[in-house]
Amino acid sequence: MKKAILYLEDGACFNGTTLAATGETAGEFVFNTAMTGYQEILTDPSYAGQIVVMTYPLIGNYGVNPEDVESEEVHVKGFVVKEFCRYPSNFRSTQSLIDYLNENKILAVEGIDTRALTKHLRLQGAMKGIISTEEFDPKRLAQKLKQVPDMVGSDWVKEVTALKYYIYNDSKGHRFKVAAIDCGIKWNILRILADLECQVHVFPATATTEEIQAVNPDGLFISNGPGDPAAVPYVVDTVRSFIGKLPIFGICLGNQIVGLALGGKTYKLKFGHHGANHPVMDKPAGRISITSQNHGFCVDYESLNKEEVEIVHVNLNDKSVEGLRHKKYPVFTVQYHPEAAPGPHDARYLFEEFINQMKEHQYKV
């Protein structure tokens, strides 16, 4: 173990120790309130460019395994906890979280007062920061942070999207053909769609309207992903071209992209929503779901045309927009993660809603 400093752009400093990995890493600091699911969090592409602080004090209790990843690699820039568990215990565990982080060369820090750090981020907002085991001079660290791009205006989708088109669930028994724009898609989304008898044609975020149309899909899905939605106009333009032509379902970044495609605007939340315990009201259904969330931006509902678009899901913590629906076309979105991984399964019914919309579309065609 080696001493490490955690320096934030507002000048706040925290001291801790690293695991085997050493060096420096920088990104936007955010906190996650989930008690479990750290492996899914680490491999969620939506965390690209960010350093995650876990609020639960002891992390790593049940180890890691090859089945709980949500992508091919770890995407966080760094990982901060109060204490790592040295002796994990679970029948599914194949190695410790410490070994997993070191294998992936992730700069992970423990011994930090994560309660104080989280309260600081809640008060001051998510901000850029740096973790270092080499440089401890705050003035020099501040200079290095100036070279780190802000999350606002940054296109992180290009860092995590698929390099080429592929098909998930290439079986002949499928009932629906879904075109998915991969902005950083989580694997559990693909698993659920496959379980619902969908063949998923996954396209890179740079795919054109013509390329997507060529597979003759029954519906269009826009995935979660990292960064500023306003920084990916190429995805927004593609999605806009399908409004009124196909059923559209967007999750997380996909919600924001659809909001932009419908003529709205987005804005950055103070510290975002990251965790597995966020209450959301589904207004048409009159139900409340406890949801998994991971986003730093939000759709500005006041910027949308109220005659065409309605808000159907609301965050009960801060009243922010959690879901939209077009009043005329089969277009709906949610800001949270109905596929969970990690988190509760309260909102998985939304995938069935997408299926029903594709059924109606097939009937009309």
Active site residues: 252, 337, 339
Question: Residue 213 has which token pair?
Answer: 């149309």
Structure tokens at 177: 């053909």
Q: Which of 252, 266, 260, 242 is nearest to 331 (CA)?
A: 242
Rounded distance between C-alpha atoms, residue 76 and residue 101, angstroms? 11
| Strands 219-222 and 127-132, bridge-based pairing | unpaired
Among residues 344, 303, 336, 302, the alpha carbon closest in space to that of 317 is found at 336
Distance CA 215, CA 218 (A): 9
d(CA 251, CA 185): 10
The per-residue DSSP string of 42-108 comes to HT-GGGTTEEEEE-SSEE-TT-B-TTS-SSSS---SEEE-SEE-SS---TT--B-HHHHHHHTT--E
Percentages helix, strand, coil for the chain, rounded to the nearest 5?
Answer: 25, 35, 40
Place of tokens 């605007």: 265
